[in-house]
A and B are shown apart, each in its own frame.
Chain A
Amino acid sequence: MNSIFGIVVKRLAAGLVTILVVSALIFVGIEALPGDPATAILGQQATEENLAALRKELKLDLPPHIRYFSWLNGFIHGDLGRSLSNQRPVSEMIGWRFSNTLFLALSAACIAVPLALSLGLLAALYKDTMLDKSLSIASLSAISFPEFFVGYILIAIFSVKLHMFPSVASINDGMSFLQKLNVIVLPCITLMLVVLAHMMRMTRASVIGILTSPYIEMARLKGVEMRAIITKHALPNALAPIVNVVIMDLAWLIVGVVVVEVVFVYPGLGQLLVDSVSKRDLPVVQASGLIFACTYILLNLTADILSILANPKLRIPK
């Protein structure tokens, strides 16, 4: 037992270190990029006064490590600085939008994961049949489609032509849960499609790989029937690679959300990020970028730990 605990703790520590390094890079990395950030933001025509004021605002006059620690200090106290465009505290802008993004992402995940796993399993079991081949073509197409393509098609069909769902997913706290669901149906499906396809293909590949192993043949030679082979013999071994794929795709989901939010004008963190990039609103860009990065890192970390736990060879050393 000691060793699992040790492994998990080590991984968590590594994750924490990564987050610190990443945050340092985000805030200090500006130094590494060519040019002067202040000029880049305000343009060549800016006056020296404005440039100086901006540099002060961005704390560029401080040496990098002091700047980083002052930011870190602020972060721990919930202060992420102020937006350059509207002077509001960044934490205020981010909080609500982040929860919206999470809502969208989680809804997509809840449908995508079980669906992908079942379809992948079916495709593996009925390999090379019509079902498998059509799923293969469908998933191949889904992976190839850009999200905005899927999004606008859905809008074209279900919103404009059929008037079933709104084309603009505007959400606010006044809505009931059901109303919120209604609003996010289309963005959810859009977001889900690519992830679903990828997860399904990986599940199929893992299961097929396992079904051709010698120990599965041995189970058949012991007279174990197909259903028991799948549930008792194959799945425990498929757990590790599948968990890995699921969480990696969830991490991707966090990123795919950006485009979807723009297509559907959904008030989430992704849209905020894109807007602030266009406006060169550095504090907001840094803060939202950091949150995305952290979520991504945490998810990868979870995938890492879970796949260790799911593998008896790693869980219980010789």
Chain B
Amino acid sequence: MVGVKKIKNAPWSAKIGILMVSITLLTALFAPVIAPFDEAEKVGDIWLAPGGKTILGTDQLGRDLFTRMVYGARNTIAIALLITFLAFLVGVVTGLMAATVGGWLDMIFSRIVDVFMAFPALILTLMILSILGTSIPVLIIVIALLDATKVFRLARALAMDITVMEFVEVARLRGEGLRWIIIKEILPNALPALIAEFGLRFCFIFLFISALSFLGLGIQPPAADWGSMVRENAGAISFGIFVPLYPAAAIAFLTVGINLVVDWFLHISAQIRAQ
């Protein structure tokens, strides 16, 4: 569908985006190989300047910042990916079914989603966390379910647009079953928009987790995580040491990259549709 030729012809912004995303993903993937030290290993004094053993210096407990950043990429990206997959699984399946089956199924799902969406996500998450605590499984399930509501809305809207096209009716009149119609007729047409949305959702979830960690309610120390690292090192700012900016900038780096790629992807899929 999107051939290598298309990538060669992409505008420079898209190429930069692809580069940014690739660097980050590869770092996360090969973290144990790249990182010079262990995740929680103390290597020197607090907030040392870059140089010597440490490429970026040390953090508020004397651990190597570079190692922490590398492992931070791995931890946060892994969790964010998992959550996005879950959200998509739940959201796409329920959304497509609601649009295709319609009737009471659609009504029930839509009402439930409406109730959830009446809450600002952050507030709801905070409230649930105050009761259940901030363990990783809780985080994953809560955020995945909340985000699934948005995916549901999109999948449902896409499917509704597609279901009214006559070729779906042709399949129905042929006697095709629900599974065939959803998988073979509707899904291939919804795929481009869903892929773009996956990128955007991942971005949002990544930022959300980082924000939660920043507030102290996300990934807990000593696990390395960019959001928590900002929080832990925040005190350094007043001393003129800009350590907390590194993990914050890393977050921005990844999300900007993804947004650039998604933007370009949306542009070419609109082009394909216009043909």
Q: Are B248 and A293 in contact (CB under 8 A)?
A: no
Q: With A140-B263, A259-B214, A277-B130 in contact, do A156 and B122 touch (Cβ < 8 Å)?
A: no
Q: Which of A35, A137, A296 contacts B119 (CB 8 A)?
A: A296
Complex-state Cα separation, A37 to B132, whole angstroms? 8
Residue B175 at the A interface, CB < 8 A?
A: no
Q: Mark interface residues in B194-210 (1 if CB within 8 Å of A CB, else 0).
A: 00000000010001001
- Contact yes or no, B130 A152, CB < 8 A: no
Contact of A276 among B122, B130, B240, B263 (CB under 8 A): B130
Q: Which residues of A contact B120 (CB under 8 A)?
A: 251-252, 254-255, 292-293, 296
Instruction: Give chain B residues whose Cβ lies under 8 Å from the Cβ of A276.
Output: 130
CB within 8 Å of A: which B196-239 residues: 203, 207, 210-211, 214-217, 227, 230, 234, 237-238
Write 8 A-B pairs (CB below 8 A) sorted by A numbering. Answer: A144-B203, A144-B252, A156-B242, A161-B240, A167-B237, A254-B120, A273-B126, A276-B130
Report the minimum CB–CB distance from B59 to chain A (whole Å): 15
Residues of chain B with a CB closer than 8 A to A22's CB: 115, 118-119
Against B, the Cβ 8 Å flags (1 = close, 0 = not) of A230-264 are: 00000000000000000000011011001100100
Neighbouring B residues of A18 by C-beta, 8 Å: 115, 118
Residue of A160, A277, A300 touching B126 (CB-CB under 8 A): A277
Q: Are B237 and A255 in contact (CB under 8 A)?
A: no
- A252 and B242 alpha carbons, distance in the complex (Å): 29
Q: Complex Cα distance A30/B203, Å?
A: 30
Interface residues of A (CB under 8 A from B): 18, 21-22, 25-26, 30, 33-35, 37, 40-41, 137, 140-141, 143-149, 152-153, 155-156, 160-161, 167, 251-252, 254-255, 258-259, 262, 273-274, 276-278, 280-282, 285-286, 289, 292-293, 296-297, 300
B44-52, B83-91, B254-262 - interface stretch: B254-262
Question: A293 touching B118 by the CB < 8 A rule?
Answer: yes
Given contacts A33-B132, A277-B129, A292-B120, 4 further A-B contacts (CB under 8 A): A21-B115, A41-B131, A144-B203, A273-B123
Q: Return B205 CB to nearest CB of chain A, in Å.
A: 12
Given contacts A140-B263, A258-B215, whether A152 and B119 have CB atoms under 8 Å apart is no
A33, A37, A148, most chain B CB atoms within 10 A = A148
Residue of B nearest to A30 (CB): B131
How many angstroms from the CA of A21 to the CA of B258 in the assembled complex? 37
B244 interface residue (CB < 8 Å to A): yes
Evaluate whether A274 and B256 lie within 8 angstroms (CB atoms) in the complex, with A37-B131, A255-B120 already known.
no
Tell me whether A297 and B203 are in contact in the complex, defined as CB-CB below 8 angstroms, given that A152-B230, A274-B215 are known contacts.
no
Asked if A145 and B245 sit within 8 Å, CB to CB, the answer is: no
Chain A residue nearest in CB terms to B248 = A149
Interface hits, B84-133 → A, CB 8 Å:
115, 118-124, 126-133
Asked whether B248 lies within 8 Å of A148 as measured between CB atoms, the reply is yes
Determine which of B132, B217, B240, B256 lies in contact with A144 in the assembled complex, contact meaning CB atoms within 8 Å. Answer: B256
Q: Per a CB cutoff under 8 Å, which of B115, B133, B211 touches A259?
A: B211
Q: How far is the CA of A148 from the CA of B213 in the complex (A)?
A: 11
Q: Give bound CA distance, A259 to B231, whole Å.
A: 11
Give the residues in chain A near B242, CB-CB below 8 Å: 156
> B126 touching A40 by the CB < 8 A rule?
no
Given known A-B contacts A30-B131, A140-B260, A255 and B211 have beta carbons under 8 A apart = no
Q: Is B148 an interface residue (CB 8 A)?
A: no
B28 lies within 8 A of chain A by Cβ: no
Given A137-B13, A146-B207, A153-B245, A160:B123 Cβ within 8 A: no
Give every chain B residue within 8 A of A281 (Cβ-Cβ): 130
Q: A34-B132, A140-B263, A255-B122 are in contact. Are A149 and B251 (CB under 8 A)?
A: yes
A residues in contact with B122, CB < 8 Å: 255, 258
Q: Is B132 a contact partner of A35 (Cβ separation < 8 A)?
A: yes
How far, in whole Å, are A258 and B132 apart by their CA atoms in the complex? 20
Min CB–CB distance B77 → chain A (angstroms): 15
A256's nearest neighbour on chain B, judged by CB, is B122
Contact B216 A278 (CB under 8 A): yes
- Whether, in the assembled complex, B270 has its beta carbon less than 8 Å from a beta carbon of chain A, the answer is no
Q: Determine how close the nearest CB of chain B comes to the CB of A124; give it in whole angstroms.
A: 17
Q: In the assembled complex, how far is the CB of residue B116 from the closest CB belonging to chain A, in whole angstroms?
A: 10
Given A22-B119, A160-B240, A255-B120: A148 and B256 within 8 A (CB)?
Answer: no
Complex Cα distance A277/B260, Å? 35
Taking a contact as CB atoms under 8 Å apart, the answer to whether B132 and A141 are in contact is no
Chain B residues, Cβ within 8 Å of A251: 120
Instruction: Chain B residues near A30: list those with CB within 8 A.
Output: 131
The verdict on B249 contacting chain A, using a C-beta distance below 8 Å, is yes
Q: How far is the CB of B89 from chain A (nearest CB, A)?
A: 22
When chains A and B are docked, how far (Å) is the Cα of A254 from the Cα of B227? 21
Contacts of A37 in B (CB 8 A): 131
Smallest beta-carbon distance A200→chain B, Å: 15
- With A277-B217, A296-B120 in contact, do A152 and B13 touch (Cβ < 8 Å)? no
Query: Which residues in A have their C-beta under 8 angstroms from that of B260?
Result: 140
Contacts of B251 in A (CB 8 A): 145-146, 149
Q: Which of A21, A152, A286 contacts B244 (CB 8 A)?
A: A152
Q: Which residues in A have their C-beta under 8 angstroms from that of B248?
A: 146, 148-149, 152-153
Residue of B nearest to A147 (CB): B211
